[in-house]
Every structure is written in C-alpha cells, then in structure tokens.
Chain A
C-alpha cells in the first residue's frame, strides 16, 4: 500500500479502458444506430399531419398506410437479417410474384397432378415448401460457389420472374393474371389469417367513441389488414432471435468476420442458407396476404420490391458489408417508405413520382450516416 501523491496516482492509474467515456442514458439513446431512422420517421409523421392530417390519419387512411407499411416491413425484415449476415437477396420481388402465382393457380385450377380441389391451407403450404426449397438452393449456391450473392440472386430474379410468366401462360390458358377467385377469407379460417382483418377491437372501440363512423352513421373501417399482424409477429420474432439467442450472435458474427466466426465453431454456411430461406418465407407471407386479400394474382406482382426492402434495411441502419443493423431500425425504415409511398397519393399538389426521388435521397443520406457510424466503431483507437 503506497501513499503516492494525488496527482501522480491519478496519472498512473489511468488505464486504457478509461478512454472510452461512459455517457448517460439519453446520450446512449442518441448514439443508437436507429436514431437517424427514428428522427426521419418522426419528421414524416409530423409533416403529414400538417399538410394532410385529415386524410392520412383518418380511419381509412390509417388502414391503408398500415397495409403498405406492413407489406414492405415483412420483406425488409428478411432483407435486413440477411444483410447483417453479409449477403443480399435480389430475388425477393420475383419470389413474391412466383409464390403468388403458385397459390392462385392451385386455388383456381386445383392441386397439381389432378389431386383435386386445393384448400387455401394446402395451396399455401405447398407453395411455402417450394419457395423454401428455392431459398435453400439459392443459399447453397452462394456458399458453395463463393460467388457474390448479388450475382446469384440477380440470376434468380430473372429466372423466377420468367418462370412466373411461363407458369401463368402454361397453366392459366395463356393469361398472365388471375382475378375473381372466390372470396376465401369469408369462408375459410386459414385464408382469413392472411386476407382478413386484424385489431378489429381497436376499431370497434374507436367506433364506440364516435370516431370511426361513415356518412350513413355505421362503422366505417372494420380493422387493419391481417398482414399488419404478420409484420408484428415476424418483427418480434426477428428482434428476439437477433438480440437474445445464440443464432443472433452467429448472424452478426457471420456478417462481420466470417473467418473468425468459422474459427470459433459457428456454422457459417448453415446460417446463411437459413437466412436465404427466411427471405423466401417473408416473400411467401407477402404473397399470401396479397392473394387472400384481393383474390387476384398477376405475373408482375412484387416487381422492384427487393430494392425497396434493401433500401428500408439501409435506412434502418444496416450496412452493406454486414455485421451491423437492428430490427428496430428496419421497422422505422419501413414506416418511412411505406408512409411516404402511400401518402403522396393523398396530397394532390405533390406529384406521386416524388416518392422515388425521396426514396433515393433518403437512401443516400442513410448510407453516408451508416458508414460514419461504422467508422466510429471500427476506427476506434
């Protein structure tokens, strides 16, 4: 026990770890990677309230907004998890068209090989088995060949879109769309899970307070689309897996430093293949909620959706080289893009095509911000 003078000890006892300043809670919150996306979302929400609050935030507006947001939200969570693991999937949009075709063809013309009528449940699960297999195939090609997933999934973007058109023409009497399917959601509980309403009780409650009322005095909007429920379920599951489970740790490590992860016994290839299957799963949920909601399908469904999903993931803080990103961020990203995409149609003095201008600009700003965050973390000392 030496009794050195105060000045000398304070200098001598300074250690490397003291150089990382600890901040309070608010400061920590401001340093979270999602803060930019959150600020963007708050800005959009307030802006819309000012310029078009009466149409964007009335019951019908809320229902429509949530429909668009949740659709984008579902696939962007898949894209985000895959991006954290260091890979891309450009085939999401084509996968939506492809799985929509499979379900609608079965619902209209019956099961393959003349196995009789298709129930919504059978159509969904047969399609899901098919899309998961394709997801597995994409992942396996990527990890086995060592080719960039950008190229492999670009290939599948074309292959799947082409197959969708060919499939329609072959099995649907030459037409690339199906409309006027029976309204399964009225008669079948399984179809209702995808095409029905969610959060009806909230809208019932609003009606009883005298807000959700149409011109003839009845309840106006019955509830949100069922896909909002799916979005919430998938988001919660993804959040839990990523932040709490062993698999979450593996996903981050796989994207950050693949060789290090492998050296520590992480099954890097299986993680990646599993995530390619997960994006295929998300695309199938997207397609099912579309088919059972509108009772239609066509070969162009899901076009360019893969790029919107990736954009939402980037805005939410995911970086293209992997290892970084959060589910909370990608939720904000989906809200920003979904809200703007839907709202430009309400505001007559804004040309709807500004949506794409907005999307591109926000994407660039987000990418710059993310790069700075990454440098701040890795540049370190």
Chain B
C-alpha cells in the first residue's frame, strides 16, 4: 500500500438484506490516478458494493472515508456531491437527442435561471467537443443524435460527462460487456486516458480478466461477500487472477469438472 491518503477507503463494510449477508466486512482503498479492478463471480457482492459507494444503498455496518473523512451517503445526490460518478450499463442517455443536449442534460448552461433560461448552445457544443476530445474521441458534430453513435462512443460520452461535472472517482459498471471487440478497445483506451489525467480514481467492475489485465493497476477480488484477495498488478500472476476471479477455483479444477460432465 502507498502512504498517500486514498480518495475513498471503506472499512469493514457489511450489508445484510434480511437474513442474507451480501457483504461481510469488506475493506477497500481507492487511490487517485489508479484503475482499481473489482472482480468476482456473479453474486459475489460487486453490485451491492458499488450501490453503497454511489449512495443508492446504505450499509448495515462499516464506514466510508472520503479523503480520510468518515462520510455517510444518504442518497445518490450525496455521493455525486462528494465526487463519486457512477456510469451504469444503460448510461442514462437519450438516444434521440443530440450529444450536447445529453452532455448537459439537467445542468444546462443558460442565460437567466429557471426552466425558461436560454441555453448557450454554441458554448455547450464547444465544451462537449473539447471534453470528449480530452479522453480521446473527436466527435466532428456535437449536434448529431446519440442514437447515431457507437456503443464505445456512448460510454465515452457518459464518462466525459461525469468527469466534467466533478467526478473524482469514476465507477464503471461492466463498461465493455455489451460491446464488440473493437469498441471494447475504444473503451479501454478511454479508461487509459482518464487514468492519464492523474487526479481521477477509477473503479472498474468487469468479468473480463483480459481487460482488467490490460488497464488495471490494482485488483480486489470478491467472493460470497468477502474480499478473497487484493494486490497491485505486479504482485499478481495472471494465473492467480484467473483463480481468484472464479472465486478461488483453479482453471485446472474447472477443466476437471467439465471433463466429468
């Protein structure tokens, strides 16, 4: 562990749904400028953990520290005010509206306040273009509708929007899962560029071991609601990663199991 204070640290996080224990004492530290891959099988507790971090759920026990200060997120609004931006799989975009209108949806730059404030469309177009270019996509026409963009470009739009509006921690929920090979690479490049900005921490939830090895600096493995392994990239062998992702089972074990069928 580095001695820098993590942007987000969780200690002994527990979440119970009635008799079911979703998370059982999870510890995690997220550093700025790092990609932290959160790996684990279905049902390991990944989504519960990110829902707590983004303020959707409240923990049963344990503490979240933001910049070392213990913090309570009562709602998603609290979390985004603390600089945590979550990019969900459905991305929260309007397909028929333009890129700019999506980028600024709900936070339009206007002359005059209130709903009848007049949008400064030129300025909004320019910012949208510049912010997306910063993380690698040059959209020639910010007035094109989001429906005409590729899945990878849409991810970039959602990420650029979160960063522009103050996210210091980006939670990416399986950003590559629904995409084709080439677009997956686009998204990984985007993640790289965001990491290159240096001041933003990324929590990457993924099922894909190869993708996590390509971009992650640090790994945390969850299984049945507990952390079963954590470490920096250079401390872990890809064989370990594969074993831990499967919840501790070796790939050789899996092959053996398959052979029995």
Q: Is A8 an interface residue (CB 8 A)?
A: no
B interface residues, how many (CB within 8 angstroms): 36
Do residues B115 and A250 form an inter-chain contact, with CB atoms below 8 A?
Answer: yes
Do residues A16 and B150 form an inter-chain contact, with CB atoms below 8 A?
Answer: yes
Do residues B148 and A256 form an inter-chain contact, with CB atoms below 8 A?
Answer: no
Would you list which residues of chain A between 238 and 292 have a CB under 8 Å from chain B? 241, 244-250, 252-253, 256-257, 259-261, 263-266
Instruction: State the majority secondary structure of interface residues on A.
Output: helix
Do residues A377 and B141 form an inter-chain contact, with CB atoms below 8 A?
Answer: no
Would you list which residues of chain B between 168 and 213 have a CB under 8 Å from chain A? 186
Chain B residues whose CB sits within 8 angstroms of the CB of A377 once the complex forms:
95-96, 145, 147-148
Would you list which residues of chain A between 84 and 106 have a CB under 8 Å from chain B? none
Do residues B97 and A256 form an inter-chain contact, with CB atoms below 8 A?
Answer: yes
User: Contacts A17-B137, A257-B92, A380-B148: A323 and B105 contacting too (C-beta < 8 A)?
Assistant: no
Chain B residues whose CB sits within 8 angstroms of the CB of A266 once the complex forms:
105-106
User: Contacts A244-B118, A244-B119, A377-B96: A249 and B101 contacting too (C-beta < 8 A)?
Assistant: yes
| Count of A-B residue pairs with CB < 8 Å | 110
Do residues A253 and B101 form an inter-chain contact, with CB atoms below 8 A?
Answer: yes
Closest approach, in angstroms, between the C-beta of B39 and any C-beta of chain A? 26
Q: Is A324 an interface residue (CB 8 A)?
A: yes
Do residues B149 and A380 form an inter-chain contact, with CB atoms below 8 A?
Answer: yes
- Once bound together, how far apart are the Cα atoms of A324 and B96, in whole Å? 7
Closest approach, in angstroms, between the C-beta of A122 and any C-beta of chain B? 28
Checking B94, B107, B149, B150 against A252 with a beta-carbon cut-off of 8 angstroms, the contacting residue is B94
- Size category of the binding interface on chain A: 20 to 34
- Once bound together, how far apart are the Cα atoms of A246 and B121, in whole Å? 10
Would you list 15 pairs from A and B whose C-beta atoms are within 8 A, ordered by A residue?
A16-B152, A17-B139, A22-B141, A245-B117, A245-B118, A246-B115, A246-B119, A249-B104, A249-B108, A252-B96, A253-B97, A253-B105, A256-B94, A374-B96, A377-B145
Interface residues of B (CB under 8 A from A): 90-97, 101, 104-108, 110, 114-119, 121, 137-141, 144-145, 147-150, 152-153, 186
Interface residues of A (CB under 8 A from B): 15-18, 20, 22, 241, 244-250, 252-253, 256-257, 259-261, 263-266, 323-324, 374, 377-381
